[in-house]
Structure 1
Amino acid sequence: MENILVGINSKYVHTNVAIRYLKKYVEKNSDLKIQMYESSINNNIQKIIRDIVESSPENIFFSVYIWNVEMVFKIVKELRKILPDKKILLGGPEVSYNPTEILKNNVEIDGILVGEGEKVFLNYLTKDIKDVKGVYYRENGEIKFNGFEPLIEDLDIVPFPYDDSELEDVHKIVYYESSRGCPFNCSYCMSSIDKSVRYFSLERTKKDLKKFIDIGTRLVKFVDRTFNLRKERYMEIWRFLLENYRENITFHFEINANIFDDEVLDFLKQVPRKFFQFEIGVQTTNPATMKAINRNNNLERLFHNVTFINKNIHLHLDLIAGLPFEDYETFGNSFDYVYRTKCEMIQLGFLKMLQGTEMKEEGEKYGYKYLDFPPYEILENDFISYKDICRLKDIEEVLDFYYNSQKFLRSLDFVVSNFFESPFKFFESIGDFYKKKGYLEIAHKELAIFNNFLEYYREQNFPRIDEFLEYLKFDYLFLGKPGFYPEWIDDRKDKDLYKSIIDKMEFKSAREAHKLTELEKFEINIETGEKESVNIFFDYSKEDTKYYIVR
């Protein structure tokens, strides 16, 4: 009997760790072999259907999430036409909170697995359905359920989910968990439903992490909902990683930055740049909103901690638009707070009314209107209008262009600090510009985003354009050796000085030297902001561009 687990990811680079756990657990505890099929929502649906059918399955299991649920239901309906006698079952967070309703409305589906999946999946494949817990199934025209399977107490019995060959793929993000569950009670989050937190042993965790390091996996994203809950435990894991440091590997953690003490901060200062990446859920700085969503940020402590480590830890800070009591103005205050931390990325998200969450149950109290289909995103509520939500959508897009890309560090700082009372006001302004020009509706190459910035600057009639052009030129050259100079760059290269510099460097040839370096004259000192003629030498030979002021 062929059993196939299907994971349809939101992007090609993603991996589905859930189906890997199920496959490894069943194969460890039985003689069964499990097929695994992965695709993405961007792939052709008919090809996915054909791939599944040609695998000759008896049982087909779909892992269902908010990003793939609509596609999965389409696939299931078509598969039923082609494979009328095969079993099709679903599992995952998007079908776990209304399984009876789903089965009633979708006759093509034979069952839904709920709860922690490993034991449920094994029992379904090896036992009579009447003896299996954690499965909603059909029997004689009725929907049956035998209760929930207890959670796994000893997580170490769950095998490591990846094959070595998967960890060598530099184009994939690898997801990993060292714990399950979340102790917090954020009203908008599905993780708050399971309050218990269970841990893989430190010995097991270290063994797994050493495998990533030895193989050279590029990016490992911990899916622990809050990694830094137990200081003794997470510090031991971080020390282990630091002791086994290897270049070109990044470990990503979702953390609560409020609770770092001075010992933790001092340790994090030792971590090599890019080795750790933190995702920090700020969500809001509005006191009334924090209270409503059961989230209490110590904003002063949070700001101190984040700015203390932002030189060597890559930081992503999250904001959520559409929370209770958060209007357009107070969201702007939250945005400005996060911007001032100088984190690498501001992730501006929009509230999703997810099944099973407290926020979904209390939606009427705050006048929520939201999409009836995935991703169930907010349209408006009593505090923020649909018009303002749309404006924030525009800001989200230009934020990715000019801040999250990290490609406009000097020119962006020059504009924001000289012409705007707050960072949010700048992004509001350039978002309006993009909307007016129709630039939000078209794809943009890198040079076009630079050109648009200059067009915006000129249209706003900002003074000191010569200074702005110097900062914009620096940002453009810092990205890498330009194939050509755009018309707004005045090329003033000192060719004799350039040759004298590269002659002293160790390159295989003059051609390689020119390919991996650049020299340009500036009329402003990029570091001090003072007006003076300086030459700046750019070295692109390493992963990160280096530059040197040459007088």
Structure 2
Amino acid sequence: MSKIVLAGINSQYVHLNLAVRYLKKYVEANSDLKIEIYETNINNQVFNIIKDIYELNPDKIIFSTYIWNKEYIVEIVKELKKVLPNVEIILGGPEVSYKWEKFMANMPEVDALLLGEGEKVILNFLTKKDKKALGVVYRENGEIIFNGIEPIIENLDIVPFPYEDWELEDRTKIFYYESSRGCPFSCSYCLSSIDKTVRYYSLDRVKKDLKRFLDSPIKLLKFVDRTFNLKKERYMEIWKFLLENYREGITFHFEINANIFDDETLDFLEKVPKGYFQFEIGVQSINPETMVAIKRNNILDKLAHNVRRISRNIHLHLDLIAGLPYETYDIFKGSFNYVYNLKPEMIQLGFLKLLKGTQMYDEVEKYQYKYYSKPPYEVFSNEFISFGELVKLKNLEKMLDYYYNSEKFRYTCDFVIKNNFDTPFAFFEKIADYYDKKGYLKISHKEVALFNILYNFYVENNLKDLDIFVEFLKYDYLALGKPGLYPEWLKSNKDSELHNQLIKDSEFKSVREGHKNSELEEFKYNIFTNKRENINIFFNYKTKKHEIIFK
């Protein structure tokens, strides 16, 4: 029996490849074949991957190919064929499905491609001796042959649960799960818009699968359903099941359309324990012309109302895309400020990628797009926004990650914006320009350096109420954890006697343990009431609670 290896090359170490697990389980459930999974990430060196695969000594190796790993896999395949000339190399996934004739012509090292939904295609490819399975592109007598697309699976319940029991013991990895396939929407930039047929796993099957996750110690499960909340009866039943079987320490991540929640759904979500659910909401743009061009319809008042209702206990990620049609640099500011003012935990600022097979890819000339010719096909410019302006947004994205998405400057950031800038965008634009001029964008920074740079930015730009700003900055710095060092701007003023008494009154085993796990600091401004008054704040890093002591 030939040795078959499925290779999943992920974007990060913490990710698990869902596709290769589904393929392995489906083949093994429907044949006598055994498949081995080889999994790594794009940060691994090519030579190490070639060495690993060589040592596995496969007869067939099948790569799962995506936008983040295509160039990497192409390089691996070219070199792998030199050391394993007789191994059969097969590729599947969205990045080899579009214009497959050209890809095969340019890659003689590749023996076959698997196109379309993978489970039935890979099973037939591996079990049919003549290779003439639907969904397979192969070489025969110097010709490239394709027999047509394999019909999609209608009953998804025949696809086995993807994970092994031992895998579910891993507390460090991000697990992925699907309860449906397909998407009914037609967003012009998205590959999911190609398959408008939405298919669902049965609710009994989904509940059975989710119980396995709930009974395990995993910490994060991400649903990959393109829009989870399409059918209210269905998604509410799943959410109620998760609430009835609540387990502390696990978070469920869903991609949702927040426009379509009604009051009953919002009332339910207010009962969900904080941190149990995490929502990703694609806003992308609030510009009316842009929304029409990309076939999205945000009802802005309703979206804002719904987001604010659920933000009390649901961890929110809101998405924006720069480089969309009709959105100039100045118009994009409006989209950014709208999302920022909704105060999600994370703002994901992405940049348009022209994916082959999408409507947006076919509109390159219409909007005068210039874009990177290799994956990830990111946009350089269009008729509405220049390359220089997108570079400025790239720099701003880094500031957003430093000073907002990190949640390390929670109080300081708000103070700086409210007291010195007309809009949130104006602040992030200004500090991005500061980083650029100082050369700070080209180097990585430790945590304390981000605080120091923000302080210097404030001073050098002569922003108002420096003394109050320092109090906010000091609080955010001390809230992170026991300081290893005190920056020059943080003038510490401790009451040691009070600190010792507070330690004794707390549940520390000893004064020594208390000093290791707490801090006391005097503030001359109460950042919570916005009043000039002297207070002490006791930071208990063990309980992660911070107590205000008036003295």
TM-score, normalization: structure 2? 0.99
Q: Which amino acid aligns with 2:35?
A: I
- Determine if contact 1:91/1:112 at 8 Å carries over to the other structure: yes
CA distance, structure 1, for counterparts of residue 176 and residue 459 of structure 2: 45
Amino acid paired to 1:548: E
1:550 aligns to 2:549 (yes or no): yes
Code of the aligned partner of 2:48 = K
Conservation of the 8 A alpha-carbon contact between 1:284 and 1:319? yes
- Correspondence list, 1:478-493, <5 A: 478-493=479-494
Q: Counterpart of 2:137 in 1: which secondary structure? A: strand
Retained in 2: the 8 A contact 1:420–1:426? yes
Distance in 2 of aligned mates of 1:209 and 1:511: 44
**Displacement, 1:129?**
3.5
The residue correspondences of 1:406-485 to structure 2 (distance < 5 A) are 406-485=407-486
The one-letter code matched in structure 1 to 2:275 is K
Alpha-carbon distance between aligned partners in 2 of 1:217 and 1:130, rounded to the nearest angstrom: 40
Q: Contact 2:125 / 2:131 at 8 angstroms: preserved in 1? A: no
1:369 alignment partner in structure 2:
370
Q: What CA distance in whole angstroms lies between the structure 1 residues aligned with 2:193 and 2:455? A: 46
Are 2:419 and 2:464, in contact at CA under 8 Å, matched by a contact in 1? Answer: no
Alpha-carbon distance in 2 for matches of 1:294, 1:463? 44
Is residue 420–residue 464 contact of structure 2 (8 Å, CA) maintained in 1? no
Match of 2:389 in 1: 388
Runs of 4+ in 1 over 4 A off after TM superposition: none
Write the mapping of 1:94-109 to structure 2, written as runs, cut at 5 A. Answer: 94-109=95-110
User: In structure 2, how many angstroms separate the alpha carbons of the residues matched to 1:397 and 1:167?
Assistant: 34
Q: CA deviation at 1:103?
A: 0.5
Q: What secondary structure does 1:90 align onto?
A: strand
Q: Which residue of 1 aligns with 2:88?
A: 87
Deviation readout 1:47-96 (Å, 9 max, x if unpaired): 10011111110111000011110110011011111122221010011111
Matched, 1:219 2:249: no
Per-residue deviation, 1:513? 1.6
1:77 aligns with 2:82: no
The Cα of 1:197 is off from its aligned counterpart by 0.4
Q: Is the 8 A contact 2:27 2:119 kept in 1?
A: yes
Counterpart in 2 of 1:343? Answer: 344
Higher mean alpha-carbon deviation, 123-132 vs 486-495, is at 123-132
User: Which deviations, in whole Å up to 9, do the C-alpha atoms of 1:7-48 show, x marking residues without a partner?
Assistant: 111111111100000001111111111010011111111010
CA RMSD of aligned residues (A): 0.8
**SS where residue 366 of structure 2 aligns?**
helix
Is residue 311 of structure 2 the alignment partner of residue 329 of structure 1?
no
Q: What do the CA deviations read for 1:76-123 (whole angstroms, capped 9, x no partner)?
A: 011111122221010011111121111011111011101110111111
Q: Secondary structure at the match of 1:184?
A: coil
Give the whole-Å Cα distance in 2 for the aligned partners of 1:539 and 1:300.
40
Quote the Cα distance in structure 2 between the aligned partners of 1:182 and 1:354. Answer: 17
- List aligned pairs for 1:16-415, cutoff 5 A: 16-415=17-416
**For 2:149, what is the secondary structure of its paired residue?**
coil
Alpha-carbon distance in structure 2 between the residues aligned to 1:287 and 1:129: 53
* Structure-2 separation of matches of 1:498 and 1:469: 22
Could you tell me how far 1:153 is from its partner in structure 2?
Answer: 0.7
How far is the alpha carbon of 1:489 from its aligned partner?
1.1
CA apart distance, 1:128: 2.8
Q: 1 CA distance for matches of 2:402 and 2:464?
A: 23
SS in 2 for 1:481: coil
Aligned residue-pair number: 549
Q: 1:494: how far off?
A: 1.2
1:339 is displaced (CA, Å) by 0.2
Supply the AA of the counterpart residue of 1:56.
N
Letter in 2 for 1:231: K
Letter in structure 2 aligned against 1:83: L
SS in 1 for 2:40: strand
One-letter identity of the residue aligned with 1:537: F
User: Displacement of 1:485 after TM fit?
Assistant: 1.5
Q: Percent identity?
A: 62
Name the SS for the 1:316 alignment partner: strand
User: Structure 2: how far apart are the matches of 1:493 and 1:212?
Assistant: 47
CA deviations 1:318-374 (Å, max 9, x no partner) are 000000000001100000000000101000000000000000001110000000011
SS in 2 for 1:347: strand
Q: Distance in 1 between matches of 2:382 and 2:8?
A: 34
Residue of structure 2 equivalent to 1:11: 12
Give yes or no for contact 1:20–1:162 (8 Å, CA) kept in 2. Answer: yes
Moved more, 308-317 or 124-133: 124-133
Q: Please give the secondary structure, in 2, of the residue aligned with 1:541.
A: coil
Q: State whether residues 521 and 534 of structure 1, in contact with CA within 8 Å, keep that contact through their aligned partners in structure 2.
A: yes
Please say if residues 280 and 319 of structure 2, whose CA atoms lie closer than 8 Å, have aligned partners that are also in contact: yes
Alignment-mate amino acid for residue 284 of structure 2: Q
**Structure 1 residues 129-187: Cα deviation after superposition (integer angstroms, max 9, x where no partner):** 45410011111111111111111111011001011221221221101100000000000
The residue type paired with residue 377 of structure 1 is E
| Cα distance in 1 between the residues matched to 2:316 and 2:516 | 32
The alignment's TM-score, normalised by the length of structure 1, stands at: 0.99
SS of 1:388's partner is: helix
Deviations 1:422-459 (A, max 9, x none): 00010000000000000000010000000000010011
Matched residues in 2 for 1:292 and 1:59: separation? 44
Describe the SS at the equivalent of 2:317. Answer: strand
DSSP-derived class of the 2:8 partner:
strand
Question: Where does residue 505 of structure 1 map in the other structure?
Answer: 506
Contact 1:130 1:146 in 2 (8 A): no
Using the TM superposition, name which of 398-407 and 96-105 deviates more.
Answer: 96-105
Shift of 1:538: 1.3
Q: CA 1:130/1:11 → structure 2, altered by over 3 Å: closer, same or farther?
A: closer
Give 5+ residue unaligned stretches, structure 1: none
Q: Distance in 2 between matches of 1:528 and 1:22?
A: 57
Counterparts of 2:104 and 2:170 in 1: how far apart (Å)?
A: 38
The answer to whether the Cα contact below 8 Å between 2:283 and 2:318 also exists between their aligned partners in 1 is yes
| Alpha-carbon distance between aligned partners in 2 of 1:121 and 1:110, rounded to the nearest angstrom | 14
Q: Which runs of 5+ in 2 are unaligned?
A: none
Paired residue secondary structure (1:253): strand
* Alpha-carbon shift at residue 498 of structure 1 (Å): 1.3
Q: Secondary structure at the match of 2:325?
A: coil
Counterpart amino acid of 1:146?
N
Structure 1 residue aligned with 2:524: 523
Does structure 2 retain, via aligned residues, the 8 Å contact 1:182–1:191?
yes
1:473-517, CA deviations, whole angstroms, 9 ceiling, x for partnerless residues?
A: 000011111122112111111111112212112222222222222
Q: Which moved more, 1:429-438 or 1:76-85?
A: 76-85
